[in-house]
């Protein structure tokens, strides 16, 4: 199969890019691949909202830029921060034009929320399901374009580069190029070759490498792992953001229900097992401190008190306002016997967002030619060592737009040699492989991986834990690669392989960073280094 523009992922980044290309190039084919249903993305589960300088009478670009730089703890690329903040409002306006319904005040103005790390009210939201509403609007919008094809249940196994043509990158051919992807089509149960002259990776995050995460089951770091295998550059993977307040449900593993930060923005108070409002002991901003500070504070309170959770106290919040803003949170708590106006909500940190990823430039270009990346799988320089709340959806849209702009420039200068190379790409070769005899081998390895990452590479780290994690990852890697070589590909095996690669990148990044900064805290190096540097792998 051939297509003009190939998009991996159907979240806000992938859909935004596809829409813009389709509008500009009605004669070109745009193909979107997603490994699950069209709306099963990290975007869908974004509760809080999207940040933007909407009310310029009280807010300013300068304030939003400063808040982002402070949260990023010295590692943000200031040029990128300015690009995202200044271009972001126009991208939000486009979302509204495409049909996204943000909450409004009675007078028609948009309701603006405030979350940890923000100095002003600037978060646009749709109740407590903002991401789901944005996803709905974008999926409706792409239906208007017959040149967009969205293929569900199509798992990307690997990106195709020169080594599939039988030659290596050398000094005479220094650039790695991407020609397309190999995919496992779950509808036909066959592994296929899809070729394209321009590819956007918008494959989402990697929270599933941890035992407890707010991410959906699809968030297994596939894009990052594929680019690393293709010798692309990966950046700052040690900076994993743990959301401070995931709903604690005994025995629940996998995807945790998120209690959005906006609840604390509206007055929710964190309390420990003794009922003490403890955040004042950790930061002058108390419950509205940035997420890394709040998550470490909760982690410490849990360890000191020997508990598996703390409490979020919403009992004094305005009932009508809460029901209007957070109806799904109220319903979820009610379903497990918690009346939030009489009972405190048990919460604990869960893996939430990866600030690192595939290194990109200001046009979303990766180190591999013809390959762009946007959304959570990318490391743009916006977040630095810690993401400011509600900046991620904004970032995804800004860089999807910039990838589109650059792709339009490149469209007219594709070389004949490149098009000729596409003809030489071989089909997938599964000769000598067999159907796996026992799935338990894969599922047990996944459990082991999640356990070691949660226990050794969590909110607080040290050298001994990281070394233990590395040794166990080496063994898992060896076992899984042996299985991969002799077994027919399956989503479960490919996801395990990708999760092991991503876990290695997180651990290796953590080992290389000899300091504590932002989301990375190592008790053996408790202070910040005077040298600012990114971790490139």
Contact criterion met (CB below 8 Å) for 37 and 380: no
Active site residues: 291
Contact criterion met (CB below 8 Å) for 128 and 326: yes
Residues sharing a CB contact under 8 Å with residue 107, sequence separation 6 or more, in sequence order:
none
- DSSP letter for each residue of 481-525: HHHHHHB---HHHHHHHHHHHHHHHHHHHHHH--S-BTTB-BTTB
Contact criterion met (CB below 8 Å) for 520 and 385: yes
pTM over 0.85: yes
**What is the DSSP code (8-state) at residue 536?**
B
Using the structure block, give the residue that is written with the tokens 């901003």. 285
Average pLDDT over the chain, rounded to an integer: 91
Q: Measure the CA–CA gap between 333 and 304, rounded to whole angstroms.
A: 26
Which residues partner with 2 through β-bridges? 195
For the record, the structure tokens of 131 come out as: 């991401």
Contact criterion met (CB below 8 Å) for 291 and 241: yes
Burial of 4 (0-12, 13-18, 19+ CB in 10 A): middle
Q: What are the start-end ranges of the E strands in 128-205?
A: 148-151, 154-160, 180-185, 190-201
What pLDDT is stored for residue 444 in this prediction? 93
CATH architecture label of 2-238+355-424: 3-Layer(bba) Sandwich (3.50)
Q: What are the start-end ranges of the E strands in 12-113?
A: 30-33, 50-51
Q: State how beta strands 310-313 and 269-271 pair.
A: antiparallel
What pLDDT is stored for residue 129 in this prediction? 83
For the record, the structure tokens of 208 come out as: 């599933």
Neighbours of 525 (CB within 10 A): 17
Per-domain boundaries in the chain: 2-238+355-424, 248-349
Q: Measure the CA–CA gap between 322 and 220, rounded to whole angstroms.
A: 33
- DSSP letter for each residue of 204-258: ---GGGSSEESS-TT-S-HHHHHHHHTT--EE-TT-EEEEEEEEP-TT--EEPPB
What pLDDT is stored for residue 503 in this prediction? 98
Neighbours of 211 (CB within 10 A): 19
Contact criterion met (CB below 8 Å) for 5 and 30: yes
What pLDDT is stored for residue 260 in this prediction? 87
Given a cut of 70, the residues of the chain with pLDDT beneath it are: 38-40, 42, 44-47, 164-174, 253-254, 412-423, 429-438
Identify the CATH number of the domain defined by range 248-349.
3.90.700.10
DSSP three-state, residue 269? strand
- Each residue's pLDDT tens digit, 345-395: 999 999 999 999 999 999 999 999 999 999 999 999 999 999 998 999 999
For the record, the structure tokens of 172 come out as: 């005479």
Q: Nearest CA to 518 among 209, 115, 208, 237?
A: 237
> Cα angle vertex 395, ends 81, 284, to 5°?
60
What pLDDT is stored for residue 418 in this prediction? 55
Q: Measure the CA–CA gap between 95 and 197, rounded to whole angstroms.
A: 27
Contact criterion met (CB below 8 Å) for 245 and 261: yes
What pLDDT is stored for residue 420 in this prediction? 58
């Amino acid at each position: 199969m051939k297509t003009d523009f190939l998009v991996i992922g159907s979240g806000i980044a992938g859909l935004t890019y596809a829409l813009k290309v389709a509008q500009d190039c009605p004669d070109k084919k745009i193909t979107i691949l997603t490994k699950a249903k069209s709306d099963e993305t990290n975007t869908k589960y974004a509760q809080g909202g999207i940040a933007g300088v909407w009310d310029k009478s009280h807010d300013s670009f300068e304030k939003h830029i400063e808040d982002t730089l402070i949260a990023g703890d010295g590692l943000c690329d200031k040029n990128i921060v300015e690009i995202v903040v200044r271009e972001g409002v126009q991208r939000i306006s486009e979302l509204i034009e495409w049909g996204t319904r943000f909450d409004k005040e009675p007078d028609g103005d948009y309701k603006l929320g405030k979350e940890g790390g923000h100095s002003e009210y600037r978060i646009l939201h749709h109740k407590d399901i903002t991401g789901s509403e944005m996803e709905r609007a974008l999926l409706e919008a792409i239906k208007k374009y017959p040149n967009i094809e969205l293929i569900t249940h199509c798992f990307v196994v690997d990106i195709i580069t020169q080594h599939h043509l039988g030659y290596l990158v050398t000094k005479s051919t220094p650039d790695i190029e991407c020609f397309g992807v190999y995919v496992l089509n779950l509808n036909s149960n066959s592994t296929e070759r899809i070729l394209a002259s321009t590819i956007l990776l918008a494959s989402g995050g990697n929270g599933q490498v941890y035992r407890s995460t707010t991410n959906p089951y699809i968030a297994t770091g596939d894009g990052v792992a594929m680019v690393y295998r293709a010798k692309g550059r990966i950046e700052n993977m040690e900076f994993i953001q743990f959301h401070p307040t995931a709903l604690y449900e005994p025995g629940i593993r996998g995807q945790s229900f998120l209690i959005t930060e906006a609840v604390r923005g509206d007055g929710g108070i964190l309390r420990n097992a003794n009922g003490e409002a403890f955040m004042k002991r950790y930061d002058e901003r108390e419950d509205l401190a940035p997420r890394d500070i709040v998550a470490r504070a909760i982690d410490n309170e849990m360890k000191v008190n020997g508990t598996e959770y703390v409490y979020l106290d919403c009992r004094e919040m305005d009932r009508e306002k809460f029901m209007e803003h957070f109806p799904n949170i109220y319903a979820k708590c009610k379903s497990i016997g918690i009346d939030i106006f009489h009972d405190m909500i048990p919460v604990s940190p869960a893996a939430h967002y990866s600030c690192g990823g595939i290194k990109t430039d200001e046009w979303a270009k990766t180190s591999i030619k013809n390959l762009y990346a946007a959304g959570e799988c990318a490391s743009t320089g916006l977040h630095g060592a810690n993401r400011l709340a509600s900046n991620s959806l904004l970032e995804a849209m800004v860089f999807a737009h910039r990838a589109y702009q650059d792709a339009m420039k490149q469209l007219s200068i594709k070389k004949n040699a490149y098009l000729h190379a596409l003809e030489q790409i071989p089909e997938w070769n599964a000769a000598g492989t067999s159907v796996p005899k026992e799935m338990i081998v894969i599922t047990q390895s996944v459990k082991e991986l999640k356990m070691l990452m949660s226990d050794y590479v969590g909110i607080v780290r040290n050298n001994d834990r990281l070394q233990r994690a590395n040794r166990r990852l080496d063994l898992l890697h060896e076992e899984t690669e042996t299985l991969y070589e002799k077994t027919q590909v399956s989503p479960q095996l490919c996801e395990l392989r990708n999760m092991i690669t991503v876990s290695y990148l997180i651990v290796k990044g953590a080992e290389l960073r000899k300091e504590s900064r932002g989301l990375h805290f190592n008790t053996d190096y408790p202070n910040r280094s005077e040298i600012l540097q990114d971790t490139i792998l």
